[in-house]
Structures are given as structure tokens and as C-alpha cells.
Amino acid sequence: MGNFATIRGVSYILAAAPDMVLHNGTTQTTERIVNPESEYLGQIEGHLRSYEDVLAYIPNQVYIGNMSNEQLRETAFPYYDKKAAEAKRQGKFGEIMPQDEFYALMQICDVFDLVKLEAAFAQGAKAKLAAGGLLREEQLAILDKNQESGEDIRRLVEEDHAEGLYNGGALVGAVKRAHDVDVNLSAHVMLENLVAKASSVLALLHLLKHTGIDPASVDYVIDCCEEACGDMNQRGGGNFAKAAAEVAGLTGATGSDVRGFCAGPAHALLDAASLVKAGTFKNVIVTAGGCTAKLGMNGKDHVKKGLPILEDCIGGFAVLIGENDGINPIIRTDVVGRHTVGTGSSPQAVIGALVTDALDKADLKLTDVDIFAPELQNPDITKPAGAGDVPEANYKMIGALGVKRGDLQRAELADFVAKHGLVGWAPTQGHIPSGVPYLGACREDILSKKIRRAMVIGKGSLFLGRMTNLFDGVSFLVEENPGGEAGSETTAGSNAAASGSAAVSETAVRTLIGEAMRDFAKTLLSE
Amino acid sequence: MDLENQRRVKELSEQYGAENVVVLLGAAEGEASGLAAETVTLGDPTYAGPLAGVSLKLSVYHICEPEVKAEIDEAVYDEQISMMEMVLDVDDICGEMNAIREQL
């Protein structure tokens, strides 16, 4: 027991993708096939936001760490008609990249010469991307290879099965197909996968920058997005993880992909924490890029209600899991909730398996968990689409189960939601909202002793793959580091090490050192 | 209501007879419950699915309605439903369901 893995750092990125909403979001591409003359398709362009508006959108500023969840809570709902006082591209966790630079990044991430950019566009995007300072000179030089004219690009799209890349309505590039027959290597799939890869790379680069970790010291990378890469003989052959690690310069890493729909990140984090705790690897990164298909997913409802298209960004994140340093928050891999094959599908059974069964193992009450981080979808997006406020619904269910268990009184339910919950801010990119968007703030809140314990809950709708009707989910606790490598002695509920007085005094010393270092980390954070 | 579900409801009521079918809903709020109830009674209000213009007039209830609760073993209801009963706006759901049934 003890010696739990720690959360060393977290990054979050968004890439504004207004033209991709039109050309790559499945709601729009399906509508174009089924109902090409539809009123929606005629209206949608008028509902796309500018890059400046994407920056000024408060939930986006919360995502990259420039604003807090408290600030979002203080913002009167809805959010789409409000603007952040300071709309910045860079945040302490990452950035919001404009679409033109993201296309350039896609080309830098493409090692099969599939991405073509119009020459002048590429040079413009290169200059902007260079200013960000994230990419190496030789990576930026890849953009110099573009010789194509606008006419060349048009020909690729119209005559050679390529998918167009558009910026401000103009065709500026294309993604070619990687095979003439294999649908898994079609231009559509290659574009989708290159977007996932590039957004994962962007998250990795920010994580490296923010943590300052030597890239060569990363041992293993786990990708947990929802895409699949492979050819017709192995559709989900995989390893987005290693592909992204290569571009991010993680020369000492291998990796693999973990999938589980929206619960993927929670599964991947458990895997990473277990690999580190077991001593298999010292430094593991969990990463995920975003998804073009989900752009504008609820666009019809947003347009019908006069809202802008709010699903206009590709999302991504990366989390560095490292050995116990006595300072950073630990992942309690001994207090894990699981929705098993036999759990059943009623909400009560699901929440019980994911939340209260796990807490029971640690002899904890619901109210012992300061913050719950279930699916954190932005209600600005989901409410107008009739899906309600997802995080709030989760908190109500958790609280109601607490009432049934006697952890709290029924009258305390509303208070429980406000006190132990968060207001949703995550883009609806499937796997992105699932608990993980809180990890960055969670790490800081624990380091600054604002909270002691949080629970991350990932949930996934497996039926979408038509292989099972089962629901899925896993959860785990993130806790204040009790200090010292042995870790668990002062942690509620875990097996206290009973290895003699010498071990105890060593632990006491480690605890003192740990506390001193934590205070030091706190002063660094406050700067 | 999901188009696939509409097809299944239509097929089951043809197979067993509309008078022998009860539709039990588990929707999370009133409006969605009302729309689903309307679909299996008066027909698909969105005119998108197999029940567009098909008035099956099936018996339809939400799992949180008192009529249904009374039919279910108390221990089972407590284990499966009582948590959601606390979370959902049951009065709103019942109101929407009654409004649809009154139109039959």
C-alpha cells in the first residue's frame, strides 16, 4: 500500500475550428447528404463565432486556466452572451490556437505527406506559429515545402478525393487519401486522425512546457481519445500515443491507446497511476486530442434558438503521472469505483458502483469528498439541446444516493450540489468532459490546501459501438499527499503500514520534509 | 423519440395488439416524457419516424408516476428507482404525462 502515483502537471488546449464545423462535423455533413437544401445549412454560417469571440467565451478561458470555476459560477447563465474581461490566447494550462495555425500544426504532425497547404497560407501560418515558441525550427521548416497554388489544392479536392481545409470560407489546403480503396485510409479518416494527433501533440507540448520535465525522461504515453487508426486489415490498430510522442520529442517513450468512449480518460489515468505505483515506469503521460466529428453536434438546436454554434473548438489535454514525490496530489488506486458487467443499468446502480461502493472501501462518507468531478459538460451547450445540465444532474444523483445512505439529510441536497460540485465548462468532445477538466485546478486546490480530496468519475456509453448495451465507468480519488514515499499512513481508510517504530519515525521525518516542500510549492504557485 | 425505438414500438404493437402493450418511460424531464408519450399515442410530432401520422393510442406511463409505483414491489422500487425519484421533477413529469393522456 502507499507509494501512490502523483499528478505532476496537467495541460488543456483548444483549437478554434469554425470552418471544420461546416465541413467535418457529422451533424452538418449528414445534413448535406440527407437534406442539402435545408434551412439549417443556409443559416449556420451566420452563427459561427470569430476567433476573438471564441477567446472571450468564459468557459473556454476556464478550460485553459485563466478563469476559475468560481468565476464561472458567478457568471449569470447563459454564458454565450457574456464576454471574459480578459480574453487571452495563453493560459496557465495551455492555449486556444486559431484555426490557421492548427492546420499548419497538422502538417507538421503529418509524416506521410498527406496534408497540402496553399504556399502563401502556409507561410503566414508558419510565422504565427513560430511566435508561439512551442515548435522547433526544423518542425516549422516542414511548412516551407508547400509549393501548391490555390488551383492545385482545388484540383486535389475536386478531382483527387482529398478533403478540403478551409479558413474563413476559403480553400487553403487539403488532406489527401492515403489509399485508393481502403476506407480506413480515406481522406475523411486521415483528416480526422491527423486532427486528433495534432491536438494531442499540442497538449503534450504544453504539458512539457508547464511541468519542465525532460522530454527524454517520459517512459510511456497513453492516448485515450475516441478515434481509431489503422488500415482495412486492422481498423483500430492504434498507437496515436506513440505517434504523438514522436512529434513531441519524447524519445524515451513508447505507448499505447486506451479506449472506453467518454470514460477512456479515467481508465487511462488508472492505468497510468497503476503503472507508476507498480514501479513499471516512472513517468507516464495520459493524452488525448479532439474530434472533428463532434463539431457543431448540437448545432441545429443552437441555431434554432438563435445561439452561436458553441461546439466550434477541438479539445485536448495531457496529464503527467509521476512517482510519489511527497508533494503532489496522489491518485488513490486502492479506492476505485467500477461499473462491472453485473452492476446493472439503473442510474442508482451506476452511481452506487462508481461513487458510494468506492467510498465504502475507504470508510468514507460522501461529504468527506470535497469535490466530485463527473462529466463536466458545459450546460451552455447541452441545455439548449434538451440534454439538461449534465454535471448538475450527476451531483443531484450523487447527493440523492447520499440521502438514501444517511450521509446527508434531504434538505441538504441543494447545498450538497453547490458545495461539492462544479459548474460545467468542458467542450462536448466526448472523452474530454469526463472528470479530467478538473485535474488542473484540482492539483492546485490540493497543493494550496483549499481542498483535500476529490473524486474523478468517468462514464461511457458503450452502446454507441453496438457491441454491448452495457454502460461503463470507473472512478478514483485524488488526495492531498500525506508526505513521504510511504504515503498512506495518514490517509484515511488505507491500510496503515505497521512495520515497526523505525519505519514510523522515518515516515514522520518524510512527512515533515513533504510539508515543507508543499509549502514551498504553494509559494511558487501563488507567484 | 429515437427512430429505431419508434420502429420497435410499432412492430411490437402490431405483433401483440395495441391493447396489450404498455409503454414505460424513463425520461429525465417533463418535456421529453411528454414528447415520447405523444409519439406512442397520437403519433410522432416531429413527423420524422415510423410513427408519423400513426396514432397507436398505447397506454403510456413514466416510471415515476404513482400508478406505476403502486404496481412495483416496494423493495425493488427502492433499489432501482428511489434515487432518481428524488432527483427528477416528478410533478412536472406527471403533469406532462396527464396532459397527453387527457387528449386521448
* Rounded alpha-carbon distances, angstroms, from residue A59 to A99, A315, A380, A387: 19, 12, 9, 18
Q: How far is A439 from chain B (nearest CA, A)?
A: 27
Q: Are B53 and B39 in contact (CB under 8 A)?
A: no
Q: How far is A32 from chain B (nearest CA, A)?
A: 17
Q: Where are the beta strands (DSSP E) in A160-312?
A: 163-167, 170-175, 220-223, 254-257, 284-288
* CB-based contact A388 B84, cutoff 8 Å: no
Q: What is the pLDDT of residues A135-146, one digit of tens each?
A: 999 999 999 999
Least confident of A211-225, A335-349, A505-519, B21-35: A505-519
Q: What is the pLDDT of residues A22-81, one digit of tens each?
A: 999 999 999 999 999 999 999 999 999 999 999 999 999 999 999 999 999 999 999 999
Give the domain ranges of chain A.
Answer: 330-526
Q: What is the pLDDT of residues A260-305, one digit of tens each?
A: 999 999 999 999 999 999 999 999 999 999 999 999 999 999 999 9
Q: What span, in angstroms and rounded, lies between the C-alpha atoms of A294 and A297?
A: 5
DSSP label at residue A252: T
Strand pairing class (A170-175; A254-257)? unpaired
Phi, psi of A324 (to 5 degrees): -70, 120
Q: What is the pLDDT of residues A489-510, one digit of tens each?
A: 444 333 333 333 344 455 556 6
Taking phi over 0 as left and psi of -120 to 50 as alpha, with beta for the rest, A50 belongs to beta
- Work out the average pLDDT over A393-404: 95
Which pLDDT does position A131 carry in this prediction? 96
Q: In this prediction, what percent of chain A has a pLDDT beyond 90?
A: 89
Q: What is the pLDDT of residues B30-56, one digit of tens each?
A: 999 999 999 999 999 989 899 999 999
* CB-based contact A388 B29, cutoff 8 Å: yes
Q: What is the pLDDT of residues A203-230, one digit of tens each?
A: 999 999 999 999 999 999 999 999 999 9
Q: Name the β-bridge partners of A90.
A: A95
Label residue A525 by pLDDT band (50, 70, 90).
low
Query: Residues of A with CB below 8 A from B86's CB?
Result: 396, 400, 403-404, 410, 413
Strand pairing class (A471-479; A453-461)? antiparallel
Question: Which one is the CATH code of A330-526: 2.50.20, 3.40.47, 3.30.450, 3.40.50?
Answer: 3.40.47
Q: Among A388, A396, A404, whose Cβ lies nearest the Cβ of B82?
A: A404
Q: Name the β-bridge partners of A459.
A: A473
Query: Residues of A with CB below 8 A from B28's CB?
Result: 388, 393
Best A345, A348, A389 residue to mutate vs chain B (most B CBs within 10 Å): A348
- Work out the average pLDDT over A248-259: 98
Best A304, A343, A345, A346 residue to mutate vs chain B (most B CBs within 10 Å): A346
Which pLDDT does position A506 carry in this prediction? 55
